[in-house]
Amino acid sequence: MTALTRPVFAAGEQDTPKGAAVTVLKAAKSCFSATVEVAGILIPKEETAVRPDRPGLKVAEVLAEPGQTVTAGQELARLKASDGGTVQVQAPVAGLVSSSTATIGAIASGKGEALFNIITGNEFDLVGQVATSDLSKIAVNQTAKVKVVGAGEMDGKVRLVAPTIEPNSQLGQVFISVDPSKHLLVNASGRAIIKTGESCGIAVPLTAVLYGTAGTVVQVIRRQRVETRHVEVGLLSGGQVEIREGLSEGDIVVARAGALLREGDPVRPVPMDASAK
């Protein structure tokens, strides 16, 4: 009678689970910026309205046009009085003529619409409206990245946060000063991303997180088996998600978590760098 023999295992082989190959990575530390996005239009920070000193004058000659740069004291228009005399309208400041209502033959108003508007200093604000929930996060001097149609991206800084909100829309105004070195156009539309804070902690790819009725989980590999961890997520940035609770630096995480993997399943972890080759 032949004696039964037991199979011989290499050291540790008997305890090594055999399972599906999964791509994994190590949870690492990273910093995330908290941001608020604002859409708005550009308005000049300082604009001077030019009107005649007295009413009843008729425009006889227009000497400056919108888009023209003028110097202080430069003649902008000539007006005629009812007695036949001529009155000069001069620029009180140097700057860029942003708009003009001066038309030959028209009556120039001393109190109504200005004959000319002059932008001084080429300094602009992006003025946008923000939801009440985000308004409390914004403070003066916070930095911003501003993109303006026709001018590209530039640096900005919060200059003013309105102390009140519009009652119907429940939105509040934010004024973001932008880099004056670029040529900017009045009323050009733009968007700003304001950095309101920063949080540094553990980060994993968004694909590693599962959202379900049981909560938010990440699948971790320990001893080549799946372990489900409930986590608390925070900020998002560039496809990465902040994990505020539930993971430690160096934990081996399934890069693409899925419902097919169950608690305790045996797997063969493949580092992400190796799987990409």
Average pLDDT, the chain: 87
More confident residue, 94 or 82: 94
Number of structural domains, the chain? 3
Residues composing the chain: 277
Question: Average pLDDT in the 88-106 region?
Answer: 92
Look at residue 79 in the predicted model and tell me its pLDDT.
94
Look at residue 206 in the predicted model and tell me its pLDDT.
94
Q: What percent of the chain has pLDDT over 90?
A: 57
Transcribe the chain into DSSP letters: -PPP-PPP--TTTTT----EEEEEEE-EEEEEEEEEEEEEEEEESSEEEE--SSSSEEEEEE---TT-EE-TT-EEEEEE-TTS-EEEEE-SS-EEEEEE---TTPEEPSSSS-SEEEE-TT-EEEEEEEEHHHHTT--TT-EEEEEETTTEEEEEEEEEEEEEEETTTTEEEEEEEE-TTS---TT-EEEEEEEEEEEEEEEEEGGGEEEETTEEEEEEEETTEEEEEE-EEEEEETTEEEEEES--TT-EEESS--TT--TT-BEEEEEHHHHT-
- pTM attached to this predicted model: 0.65
Look at residue 182 in the predicted model and tell me its pLDDT.
74
Does 76 share its domain with 211?
Answer: no
Question: Average pLDDT in the 242-264 region?
Answer: 91
Let me know if residue 160 belongs to a domain. Answer: yes
Look at residue 7 in the predicted model and tell me its pLDDT.
46
Question: Average pLDDT in the 216-226 region?
Answer: 94
- CATH code where residue 109 lies: 2.40.50.100
Residue 36 has pLDDT above 90, yes or no: yes
CA-only gyration radius of the chain, Å: 33
Q: Which residues make Cβ contacts (< 8 Å) with residue 28, sequence separation at least 6? A: 202, 203, 249, 250
Does 213 share its domain with 267?
Answer: yes
The whole-angstrom separation of Cα 185 and Cα 11 is 75
- Residue among 215, 250, 242, 220 at smallest CA distance from 230: 215
Choose the final residue of a domain: 198, 230, 247: 198
Question: Average pLDDT in the 242-250 region?
Answer: 94
Does 126 share its domain with 190?
Answer: yes
Angstrom distances, CA of residue 26 to CA of 22, 231, 255: 13, 16, 9
pLDDT class of 15 with cuts at 50, 70, 90: low
Which residue shows structure tokens 């403070």? 139
The whole-angstrom separation of Cα 198 and Cα 176 is 20
Look at residue 8 in the predicted model and tell me its pLDDT.
46
Does 127 share its domain with 193?
Answer: yes
At 136-193, the pLDDT tens digits run: 899 999 999 999 988 888 999 999 998 988 888 889 999 999 977 777 888 889 999 9
More confident residue, 16 or 135: 135
More confident residue, 258 or 129: 129
Give the domain extent around 72: 48-119
Does 187 share its domain with 126?
Answer: yes
How many CA atoms lie within 13 Å of 243's alpha carbon, on the beta-carbon side?
Answer: 28
Residue 11 has pLDDT above 70, yes or no: no
Does 104 share its domain with 126?
Answer: no
Does 25 share its domain with 80?
Answer: no
